Each structure stands twice: as structure tokens, then as C-alpha cells.
Amino acid sequence: VADPTRGNTLWAYAHVPHGYIESYPGEVRELITCQIERFAPGFRDTIVEAVATSPRDLEQWNPNLIGGDIAGGSMAGMQALMRPNISLHPYTLRPGLFMASGATPPGAGVHGMPGWWAAGEAIKSVRQR
């Protein structure tokens, strides 16, 4: 904890099927809480504040998150490797232009690696000049 006056923070998210609509507001948050409670009895009593964002709200906040999809589309099979296109250098879009995001291998959820590899591509391109 960087600031002991703020207590501990837990951040969690859940993937829901495309087009999912909760049966009641807070349904997914409750499911997550119950799952944590299974392994950490009393967890619920420590919650000071909870914030939930629905797939619809995510898309309204950022239209690129179609249906609230933070992964940028399918991560099945070769989709995880062939993003944004089939290339041995997926982080180089064109000379001098690089991309690092969930739209590049190894895909969404592997925080930091696309940036690391895109930076490596950029450094190589500068050294080759």
C-alpha cells in the first residue's frame, strides 16, 4: 500500500458474454464478491466502496470498446498472434509508426509486453538508420 491512510485496494473485473445484460443492477459485482467471500470469509464486511461499469457504459466511455470488449475482439486460436495483421513485425505499422496495445501480440491482458516489444522495434529501427 503506497498510502497507508487509504487502506487496501482490490481491483477485479469479470468477462461477460457479448450483449450480456444483468438481471438486476450489481449482479456481476455480487457474483464476484461471493466468489471472493468463498475463500476469504468476512471480505464483504471490509468493502468501503464498490464501483461497477457495465459493458454499455464502457462502450459509451470509449467507442472502441464495442460491447464493452476490453480485449479488442476474439482472442481465440491464431487471433492472439495475428494481431493487427499477419506479420513478423506486428508492432511496426509502417516505417516510424509503432503500435503497442491489446491489438498486438500477445493480446489484451498481458499488460506491458506489447509496449516492451514495440519499444524494441522502435529502437531497432533507429539503430538501422
pLDDT in tens, 37-74: 999 999 999 998 888 888 888 899 998 888 888 777 77
> Of 68, 91, 114, which marks where a domain is finished?
68
Question: Distance (Å, rounded) from C-alpha 83 to C-alpha 111?
Answer: 15
Q: What is the pTM of this model?
A: 0.59
Three-state SS across 37-87? Answer: HHHCCCHHHHCCCCCCCCHHHHHHHCCCCHHHCCCCCCCCHHHHCCCCCCC
Q: Are both 43 and 90 inside the same structural domain?
A: no
Full pLDDT tens readout for the chain, 129 residues: 677 787 777 888 787 887 788 899 889 999 999 999 999 999 999 998 888 888 888 899 998 888 888 777 777 777 777 777 788 888 999 999 999 887 788 877 667 888 999 999 999 999 987
> Of 50, 68, 86, which marks where a domain is finished?
68
pLDDT of residue 68: 83
Domain housing 36: 4-68
Q: Are both 19 and 44 inside the same structural domain?
A: yes
pLDDT of residue 1: 60
Q: Are both 10 and 45 inside the same structural domain?
A: yes
Q: Are both 102 and 51 inside the same structural domain?
A: no
Q: How many domains does the chain have?
A: 2
> Of 68, 94, 113, which marks where a domain is finished?
68
Q: All 3 cell numbers of residue 25?
A: 443492477
